[in-house]
Amino acid sequence: MAKDYHRFLLDKTVVALEAGISINGARLHPVLFEFQRDLAVWALRKGRAAIFADCGLGKTLMQLEWARMVGGPVLIVAPLCVAEQTIAEARNRLGMEVRFAETLADRIDAIVITNYEKLHHFIGGNFEGIVLDESSILKSIDGKTRGLLLEKFTDIPMRLCCTATPCPNDIAEIANHAEFLGVMRRVEMLATFFVHDDEGWRLRGHAADAFYRWLASWAISMKSPADLGYDAGEFTLPELDIAEAVVKSEWRREGELFPGQLRGITDRAAVRKSTAPDRVMRAAELIAAEPDRQWLVWCGLNLEQDQIAATLGEECVSVSGKDSPTEKVRKEKLWREGRVRTLITKPRVFGFGMNWQHCSRMAFLGLSDSYESYYQCIRRSWRFGQKENVTAYIVVSDHEKEIVENVRRKEREALTLSSKIIEAAKGYEMEELAHRESQENLETWEKSGDDWRLMRGDCVVEMAKLADSSIDLSVFSPPFASLYVYSADSRDLGNSRGLDQFFAHFGFCVEQLLRVTKPGRLACVHIAQIPTTLVNDGLIGMRDFRGETIRSFESKGWIYHGEVCIDKDPQAQAIRTHSKGLLFAQLRRDASWLRPALADYILVFRKPGENAVPIHPDLTNDEWIEWARPIWYGIRESETLNAVEAREKQDERHICPLQLGTIERCIRLWSNPGELILSPFAGIGSEGYVALGQGRRFVGIELKQRYAEVAIRNLERALAVSEQTQLFIPDGISGGCR
């Protein structure tokens, strides 16, 4: 059992499986640094992977060697002009031939490269592998091309995405990569790791570790080789100086005396157009002040681009979106080879993938609110391999300083988040590179008192320590399948991706429960039916959790003995859950959506065999008549132990302790005083609290540290209450918690 259960927990961890090829890193070209070689070997082993390495860390070399090792025809898709760089790097550094292809009519027998704009010409190609260079472009290119990749190119066996470290809180970018690589669909990713509230989608409180482990299983992120323990001596960036060149403007909104406080796109467009001549003049002055350097000018408007090009004259080339691909390549080459001093262009033309370490001066002729666009433009020159300090001037009017500050704020936030993510995922990534299985270490302990014992740990493992046929009755409420609500541990039964995985996990518990229970004795399982949701399940309806639980127990050898339905207040449930099916408004809008409130159930199971010790409940006939009904009334929903002290900041929901009245009825009906009660999911100790109050003994198991600590306090309180009660009871009269 132990070996099978350990294997199950490893398989339960949400990670991307390996689907590639294993090679010896010594087969890769010696020009690769150690970290580049290890990443390429890892990506080949995964088969479908992403390398999120910062600008200048050698993604081109890694993807070329990856493509060579794949063996069959490989298609590399890259932004315009990046293809020429890739072909040159393959030839000059690796001695490898990579040809540019425009259609499938070209000779496709090894490694070919094309542009995203030509992707539709390669549908149906017999490729063994595909590389998306600068793959963050997935969220920037038009929906048609993105859809084409997801629909027509995801049957290629080997897939690799390469881009700089993605924006750490950009769910869309992570989802696009995961979906293209076949790791997980967007809707599944959201349902697994995220929750939607008033702030939009956010990572579940307890999902962070699991999310980073999952991410590291298919994507390696690094800003520097040092992030993963490699020598970063040759990958230290020079200094970057961001200098604001603010131009005063006479433009004012009607009725205002001072600059700033732009309102909407109309104001921004107006001030940008009106200040273009002054900003162009300021940029030209900056360029003239350093005549021995090459310059790069980023524009946002055609007006700006035309004016600065006219001002600089023959000293520059201007590349715009209307230029043909051939013309763009020609002009960029003129500047890169030093035949003209200044390149003028737009972020959407050359903002991705270009290696321009030869240039250390740039100017933004105005700025948009997009931090990513700004960051990508900066990194064309400020990248590993740059030998000089880089200066970037932001040439804006005094009205636009708030835009600059907004982008700088986003920059600070992104750097903070990125460093947190890299730090959080570092351990998992290093395990991936070393091909080691992640180990979830759990600190187990046990504490006991008069008539009680609490074990902190995995219920399956801890129950294995209990003697055969030692338990007289078990009463418990298993955690329902709901990912990362109370913990991130794969041992947590609730952390299951669907009911199939939940009941596979639950089956190990049910088997142990059968072993430790005395023949002929019972297990009382508290459950409720589970509603489905549009986000998680794609529909609004119900899951038969009750029926699945019964089938699970029967499959392990238990006898289905009976059940009790516990009455619930529909109005209280509507207020708590906001369920569409219980709202008064729905009664008048469309009653087809109405449904009864969700009842709780106590499912009772019996272990086969003869009961050696008859049970004699302390019930009157009238009590038995009431308790023998198929529905238990009079259970007060608010009569529970206090769960507030057990709640942690990361918990997505309040813990819902089982009502004390429900536990009391089970214990009084189906056990004798002095007998041993078990709860394998002890929570904050509700079952133990009642068991001790009723003169029984108790053993409980709880996985979560915080809950186990609170459970101990509640067990100690139960004994204190019982002792105080006994002081006021005359001899010969038994007392209990009712």
Of the chain, the percentage scoring pLDDT greater than 70 comes to 90
How far apart are alpha carbons 569 and 571 in whole angstroms?
6
**Domain endpoint, select from 387, 422, 457:** 422
The token pair at 354 is: 């270009």
* 485 domain residue, yes or no: yes
Say yes or no: 210 and 245 in one domain.
no
Domain with 166 in it: what CATH number?
3.40.50.10810
For residue 261, what pLDDT is reported? 60
Q: Is the pLDDT of residue 729 over 50?
A: no
pLDDT band, residue 675 (cuts 50/70/90): very high
Q: Among 684, 680, 639, which Cα is nearest to 659's?
A: 639
- Please report the pLDDT score of residue 497 as a whole number: 84
Task: State how far the Cα of 338 lies from the Cα of 332, in Å rounded to an integer.
Answer: 10
Three-class secondary structure of residue 168 per DSSP: coil
Whether 252 has a pLDDT exceeding 90, the answer reads no
| Top-confidence residue, 197 or 504 | 504
Domain contains 256 = no
Q: Is residue 274 within 8 Å of residue 259, measured between CB atoms?
A: no
First-to-last C-alpha distance (Å) of the chain: 40
Containing 729, the helix (H) or strand (E) segment is: none
Measured torsion, CA atoms of residues 528, 531, 536, 537, in degrees rounded to the nearest 10: 120
Which residues are registered as beta bridge partners of 51? 162, 220
Task: HSE, CB side, 13 Å, CA atoms: give it for residue 103.
Answer: 2
Residue 448: per-residue pLDDT: 95
Query: How many Cα atoms are found within 13 Å in the side-chain-facing hemisphere of 376?
Result: 23
Whole-number pLDDT of residue 726: 54
Residue 370, domain member (yes or no): yes
Residue 166 falls inside a structural domain: yes
Most confident of 136-140, 622-626, 699-703: 699-703
How much of the chain, in percent, has pLDDT values that exceed 90?
A: 54
Instruction: Tell me, yes or no, whether 311 lies in a domain.
Output: yes
What stretches of 126-263 show up as alpha helix (H) in DSSP? 143-152, 171-180, 186-193, 208-216
Neighbours of 41 (CB within 10 A): 25
Average pLDDT over residues 323-349: 93
How many structural domains compose the chain?
3
Q: How confident is the model at residue 16 (pLDDT cuts 50, 70, 90)?
A: confident
In degrees to the nearest 10, what's the CA dihedral of 477, 483, 488, 489? 50
Residue-level pLDDT at 664? 96
Stronger pLDDT, 737 or 208, i.e. the higher one: 208
Whether residues 573 and 527 share a domain: the answer is yes
Residue 292: give its domain's CATH number.
Answer: 3.40.50.300
pLDDT digits (tens, 9 = 90+) for 81-96: 788 889 999 999 999 9
- Tell whether 384 and 407 lie within a shared domain: yes
Residues 381 and 500 in one domain: no
For 387, the domain range is 240-251+268-422
Question: Tell me, what's the pLDDT at 162?
Answer: 93
What is the rounded CA–CA span in Å between residue 690 and residue 696? Answer: 9
| CATH number for 578 | 3.40.50.150
**Residue type (1 letter), 316:** C
Residue 203: strand pairing partners:
194
pLDDT over 80 at 573, yes or no: no
- 396 and 457 both lie in a single domain: no
Query: What's residue 722's pLDDT?
Result: 67
> Of the ranges 231-235, 279-283, 490-494, which one carries the lowest mean pLDDT score?
231-235
The Cα 125–Cα 110 span in angstroms is 12
Same domain, 615 and 657: yes
Position 736 in a domain? no
Whether 262 maps to a domain, the answer reads: no
Task: Look at residue 730 in the predicted model and tell me its pLDDT.
Answer: 43
* Mean pLDDT of all residues in 541-558: 93
Question: What is the per-residue burial (b if ≥16 Cβ within 10 Å, else e) of 66-101?
Answer: bbbbbeebbbbbbbbbbbbbbbebbeeebebebebb
Tell me if 514 sits within 8 A of 558, measured CB to CB.
Answer: yes
Q: Between 461 and 82, name the one with better pLDDT.
A: 461
- Write out pLDDT tens, residues 138-171: 666 557 888 899 899 999 999 999 988 655 457 7
Residue 727's pLDDT is: 44
Structure tokens at 80: 């315009």
Does 390 share its domain with 451?
no
**Do 378 and 465 sit in the same domain of this protein?**
no
pLDDT higher than 50, residue 735: no
Bridge-partner residues for 603, per DSSP?
525, 563
Same domain, yes or no: 285 and 414: yes
Confidence of residue 253 (pLDDT cuts 50, 70, 90): low
Q: What is the pLDDT of residues 256-297, one digit of tens each?
A: 555 556 556 666 777 788 889 999 999 999 999 999 999 999
Do the domain assignments include residue 263?
no
Distance from chain centroid for Cα 643: 28
- Which whole number is the average pLDDT over 567-578? 73
By the 8 A CB rule, do 326 and 333 touch?
no
Q: Are residues 686 and 585 in the same domain?
A: yes
| Residue with more model confidence, 463 or 269 | 463
The answer on 542 and 397 residing in a single domain is no
**Whether 681 and 591 share a structural domain:** yes
187 vs 181, which has greater pLDDT? 181
Q: In this predicted structure, which of 403-412, 570-579, 695-704 has the lowest mean pLDDT?
A: 570-579
Q: Per-residue pLDDT for 728 more than 70? A: no
Domain boundary among 373, 388, 422: 422
